[in-house]
Structures are given as C-alpha cells and as structure tokens.
Structure 1
Amino acid sequence: MNPDAAHLWRAPRWALAVLLAVLGMLGPFSIDTYIPAFAGIQQSIGATPGEMQQTLSAYLFGFAFMNLFHGALSDSFGRRPVVLWGLAVFTLASLGCALSQTIGQLVFFRALQGLSTGAGIVVSRAVIRDMFPPAEAQKVMSQVTIFFGVAPAIAPIVGGLLFAHLGWHSVFWFLVGVGLVLWAANWRLLPETLHVAHRQRFAVRDLMRGYWQLCSDPRFLLLALASGVPFNGMFLYVLAAPAFLGHHLGLEPTQFFWFFVLNISGIMLGARASGRKAGKLTPKRQIRDGFLIMLVAAAVNLVANTFFWPQAWWAIWPLTVFAYGWALMVPVVTLLVLDLHPERRGMASSLQAVIGSTANGLVAGVIAPLVMHSPFALALTCITMLGVGLLSWVWLHRRWPEIGRAVQTG
C-alpha cells in the first residue's frame, strides 16, 4: 500500500471506485457493444460465421498477450502512464474498426483493441491495492464490480440501437468517442498511486525473474484458475449470444439486452454482497459460498437443458444465479492473488488476467463455435468450466489450508 494514499485521493471512496470501474469496463464493453451487429457486419463485408467469430478471438488473444506486460510496465513506470497510453491506442484501434472494409482489416484492428484494453483492467486492480488496506480494498473491489456491471448491460442496448438506425460502422465510431472521453477523464482525475520506493527496475532479466517467481508458485496458478475459468461458464453464453438468444430462444437483436441486464444484475448483487461481507467472513468461507451457488445453478441449468428445449422465460435465470455466485467470490480471490507477492502486484494482476483471457480466447475461437449449436452442449461446457475452477480451489484448500483463513481487517 502507498504510504501517501490518504493524500492522493481526497474525494469519496465511491468516486474512485466509479473511475476505476469505468476504466476497467472498457474491455467487456468493447465486446458486448458490437455483438448485436454481428449479422449485419457479416452480411456487409461478406464474412462467414467462423470469420466473424475470429473478430472475438483475435481481440481476446491480443488482450491475453499484452496483459503479460501491462502490469510489469505499471510496476516500473507507474500506473498512470500505462493507462493513458492504453486508452490512446484503443481509440486509434476503434477508429480503424470503424473504417474497416474487409474482414481481415476488422480482425487486425480488433486484435489491436485487445492489445490495449487490458491496461484498464490490470492497472485498476493494482491501484485499488495501492490505495487501500485489505478489508477496505475488498469493499472497493466490490464497488468496482457493481459499477463495472452497468456497462455490459447498457452496451448491447446501445449497440443494437446504433446498428438498427445508423449501421454497424457507427458502433465503432461510438467506441472512438468512449475512448476519447475516458482518456480525458483519466488524464484529469487519475492519480499516480505507485510510490517511488515501490517501483521495480524494468529489465528483461528482472521481468523474466518476476514471471518465473509467479508462474512457479502453485498457489498463484490455482487461485488464478479458480477465478478465471469459472467466469467462462457465463462468458460462453455471451460469446454464443447470437446463436443462443437469436436461434435457440428466438429473440430479436433488440431483445438481447434482457439477457445482459439479468446477468449483470446477478454480478452487481453478488459484488454488493461481497462488499458487505468484507471484514465479517473469512475469505475461505466467502469463496466456498460462491462456488456452492455456482454449482447449484450450473447443475439446474444442465438438467433443465437435458429434458427441455430452452425458453426465454426460464433459460436465462440459472445463468443469473451463476453470475451472482461468481461475483460473490471473485473480489476475494483477486485480493488473495495480489497479496501473495506484494512487491509485484502489477505483474500478478497481469498474469491473473492472462490466464483468464487466454481461457476467454480459447472459448471464443475454439469452444464456442463447437457447442453453440446445442443448448445442452452449452450447459455441459458451462458446468465443466466451473469444475476446473472448483477443483483448483479444492486442491489449494487442501494443500495450503492457511490461505484465506483469517478475516481481513484494516
């Protein structure tokens, strides 16, 4: 924690949470806004469904790759420069998407978007731990998750309206505007939270040593898997939204927002509950509760899709409950990850995001196209991904039972 934290931000804590949430939401916002325009883009530029899916996977793999460096760069040069450069590149990449005339151009600029947007997610986590002690950090992390949840709920509504009235290019022109506004806001408001004494020397050898320190720590890997892989249980449905919502549930693109609103409501309620439990329950208990809720929701979803063809009035609710359970436990897991190696919080945040976003990229480019044709296959894949995260947590719990045992205070 920065010893000068009390002097860096004098406004209310929630105001910093809003700034960091808006910064961190840029990644999912860039995905959800253009999903309602999928069919229109495909028809306009003559792309196949598989090629359109690659606009998602290119973005996610770009996100995963650059996350290897966002945190390390912020540990060396400060949080603020990495954020501002990331927003600048994102704005230029969005401009390229808006001007794209072929699928190849769109895939390229989507990858460039992915390379840049990770800066917001990675650095915002490090900023929270720079500024607050553990219990306060969990509350702020939960507030960030609540505000963060508003963007993906709004994004498909905005994207659907823009596409319907102005065409698909307007979706990316809108993201250009978002990038400009966020750059100006963070240039004006975001303080530099990394204390000079805490900066790490940026050198390839030191970088590799830091990566090895984290990657060779099984506690880090298991915690990252426990939080990152279950997220894909619900993210799979976001990626498969055109097929799941449009084909299987028979919804129009302008009706997609119901799916996003309900799932984001689950995330917001879970994050709010997580914040209220900070300093009252042990992290281990809270993580257990989150996994139990996700397991019940995923099992109900699988059983229902085994015996019935999905209908919109019931098929979305298990995913909403799943999202609640994930949001209940993920702020706690994230803080446990950041505190394993306090001197490398930026790098730890990066590698945690890399594991999650690599899984996202595999789901987008490989798994989703294979299973989106079948509601049962989607449900089975969802519970399988949850199983990976649950097994990772159980292994960690048995091998290092002291992790997460104490209530975090201060």
Structure 2
Amino acid sequence: MNPDASRLWRAPRWALSVLLACLGMVGPFSIDTFLPAFTGIAQALDATPVQMQQTLSSYLFGFAIMNLFHGALSDSFGRRPVVLWGMALFTLASLGCAVSTTIGQLVFWRTVQGVSAGAGIVVSRAIIRDMFAPSEAQRVMSQITIFFGVAPAIAPMVGGFLFVHVGWHSIFWFLVLVGAALFLLNWRMLPETLHSTLKQPFHIGALMREYWRLSSSPRFMLLALASGVPFNGLFMYVLAAPVFLGDHLKMPPEHFFIFFLFSIGGIMGGAFMSGRLAGKIKPRHQIRHGFLIMTVTSVVNITLNLLLTPSGWWAFPLIFGFAFGWALMVPVVTLLVLDQAPDRRGMASSLQACVGSLANGLVAGALVPLVMHSTIALALTSAGLMLIGLVSWVWVKKAVAY
C-alpha cells in the first residue's frame, strides 16, 4: 500500500471506486455492445459466420496477450501513463472499427481494441492495492464488481438501440465517445498511485524471468484458475445468448434483456454481499460459500435440463444463483492473487488477467460453437468450467495465508 494514499485522493472513496469501475467496464462493454449487430454486420460486410466469430476471438486473444504487459509496464512507468495510453489507443481502435469497410479491417481494429482495453481492468486492480489495506481493498473490489456487472446488462441494450435506429457503425462511434470520455476523466482525476520507491526498472530479460517465476508458481496459477475460469460458466451463456434465448427458450429479441437482468443481478448481488462480509468472516469461508452456491446451481441446472423442456422460468434463477456465487468469492481470490507478488502487483494482475482472458478466448472461439446447440451440453460445460476453479481452490487453499 502506498504510504501517501490518504493524500493522493481527496474526493470520497466511492468516487475512486466508480472511476476504476468505469475503466474495468471498457472490456466487457466493447464486447457486448456489438453483439446485437452481429447478423447485420455480417450482411453489410458480406462476412461468413466464421469470419464474424473472428471479430470476437481476435479481440479476446489481443486482450489476453497484451494483458501480460499492461501491469508490468505500470510497475515501471506508473499506473497513470499506462491507463492514459490505453484509453487513447482504445479510442483510435474504435474509430478504426467505425470506418471499416471490409471484414478484414474490422478484425484488425477489433484486435487493437482488445490490445488496449485491458489496460483499464489490469491497472485498476493494482491501483486498489496501492490505495487500500486488505479489508478495505476487498470492499472496494466488491464495489467495482457491482459496477463491472452493469456493463454486460446495459451494453446489449445500447448496441441494439443504436443498430436498429442508426446502423452498426454508430456502435463503434459510441465507443469512440466512451474512450475519449474516459481518457479525459482519468487525465483530470486519476493520481499516480505507485509509490516512487516501488517502481521497477524495465528490462525485458528481467521481466521475462519474473513472469517465468510467477507463472511457474503452482500457488499463483491455481489461484488464477480459481478466480478466472469459473466466470466462463456464466460467460458462455452470454456468448451463446442469440441461440440459447432465441432457439432454445423461444424468446423474441426484445425480451433478451430479461436474461441479462438475471445474470447481472446475480453479479451485483454477490459482489454487494462480498463487500458486506469483508472483515466479518474468514476469507476462506467466503470463497467456500461462493463455490458451494455455484456447485448446487450447476447440479440443479444439469438435472432440470435432463428432465424438463428448457424454460426461462427455471433457467434464469439458476443463472442468477451461479452469478451470485461467482461474485461472492472472486473479489477475495483476486486479492489473494495480487498478494502473491506484493512488489510486482501490476505484473501479477497482468498475468491473472491473461489467464482469465485466454480462458475467455478459448470458450468463445472453441467451446461455445460446439455446445451452444444443446442446453444439456451448455449446462455440462458450464459445470465443468466451474469444477476447474473449484479443484484449483481445494488444491491450493492450505498453502495460502488468509
């Protein structure tokens, strides 16, 4: 924690939470805003379904790869410059998407979007530990998770409205405005939170050795898997939403928002409860409760899909429960990940985000296309992804100080 933290931010602490949450929302917002326009963009650019899928997977893989460097760069050059350069590049990439006339151009600029969008979420996590002691950091992380959960709920509504009334280009023009606004807000408000004594020299060789040390640590990697992989048990339903909601549940597009209300409501509820429990129960108990909720909802989801015709009446509450359990435990696990490298929290945040983003990319590019045409396959895959996180946590929990 920065010893000068109390002097760096004079405004209310919730205002810093909102600012950091807005940075973290850039990633999911730039994914979900253009999903309602998928078919329209394909028709306009004469793109195949596989090419359109590349606009998503290229973004996620660009996001994952560059996440290795955002935090490490912020450890050397400061948090503020990395955030500002990231938002500037995101704005430029959104402009490139807006003026694209071929699917190749769109895939390229979506990759650049992914490369830049991760700066916000990676560096914001490091800023939290710069500014707050552990118990307060958990509360702030929970608040940010609440705001973070709003993005996937609002983004499809905004994207759908713009696509229907203005056209698909307007979605990316909107993201240009979002990027520019966040650049200006952070330029005016965000202080440099990395203490000068904690700055690390930037040497590629030394950096790669540190990455190897951290990535070869079973404790770190298991914690990263425990925090990042279970989210995909929910994320895959978001990615498969057009098929899951339209084909399986027979819902018209104008009712898709109900699904997002349940999923995001679960994230916000779990994150709120996580913040309320900070300092009141042991972190390991909170993590256990979160995984228990996800396990129960996964088992019930599989059972009902085997026995009943798919229906939103029981599917949506289960999605709410899964999201609640994930959001209850993930702020605690995230802080444990960062504390595995107290002198390199930016790098730790980068590697954690990279692990999660690679999992997101694999789910989006490989798993979802394979399983989205069967609700039973979706339920089994969701449970399997949660189980990876659960096994990782059970394996590592005895070795973690908490």
TM-score bin (small chain)? over 0.9
The equivalent residue for 2:277 is 277
What is the DSSP-based 3-state SS (H/G/I as helix, E as strand, rest coil) of the residue aligned with 1:342?
A: coil
**TM-score, normalization: structure 1?**
0.96
The equivalent residue for 2:230 is 230
- Counterpart CA distance in 1 for 2:289 and 2:149 is 21
Deviations 1:287-327 (A, max 9, x none): 00000000111111111112223122222221111000000
The equivalent residue for 2:49 is 49
The equivalent residue for 2:145 is 145
Alignment of 1:3-402 (within 5 A): 3-398=3-398, 400=399, 402=400
For residue 106 of structure 2, what is the amino acid of its counterpart? L
**TM-score, normalization: structure 2?**
0.98
Unaligned runs of 5+ in 2: none
Deviations 1:73-119 (A, max 9, x none): 00000000000110111111111111112221111111110000000
Runs of 4+ off more than 6 Å: none
Deviations 1:255-296 (A, max 9, x none): 222211211111011001001111111111000000000011
Aligned CA-pair RMSD: 1.0
Unaligned runs of 5+ in 1: 405-410
For residue 122 of structure 1, what is the amino acid of its counterpart? V
- Counterpart CA distance in 2 for 1:341 and 1:182 is 29
- Counterpart CA distance in 2 for 1:49 and 1:251 is 22
For residue 348 of structure 1, what is the amino acid of its counterpart? A
- Counterpart CA distance in 1 for 2:397 and 2:337 is 14
Deviation at 1:250, TM superposition (A): 2.2
- Counterpart CA distance in 1 for 2:258 and 2:318 is 14
CA contact (8 A) 1:284 1:403 kept: no
Deviation at 1:252, TM superposition (A): 2.9
- Counterpart CA distance in 2 for 1:259 and 1:42 is 24
- Counterpart CA distance in 2 for 1:389 and 1:121 is 21
Deviations 1:99-140 (A, max 9, x none): 112221111111110000000000000000000000010010
Deviation at 1:153, TM superposition (A): 1.2
For residue 299 of structure 1, what is the amino acid of its counterpart? V
- Counterpart CA distance in 2 for 1:175 and 1:257 is 20
Deviation at 1:254, TM superposition (A): 3.0
- Counterpart CA distance in 2 for 1:29 and 1:403 is 35
- Counterpart CA distance in 1 for 2:165 and 2:253 is 13
What is the DSSP-based 3-state SS (H/G/I as helix, E as strand, rest coil) of the residue aligned with 1:25?
A: helix
Deviation at 1:251, TM superposition (A): 2.4
Residue 385 (structure 2) pairs with residue 403 (structure 1): no
Paired residue total: 402
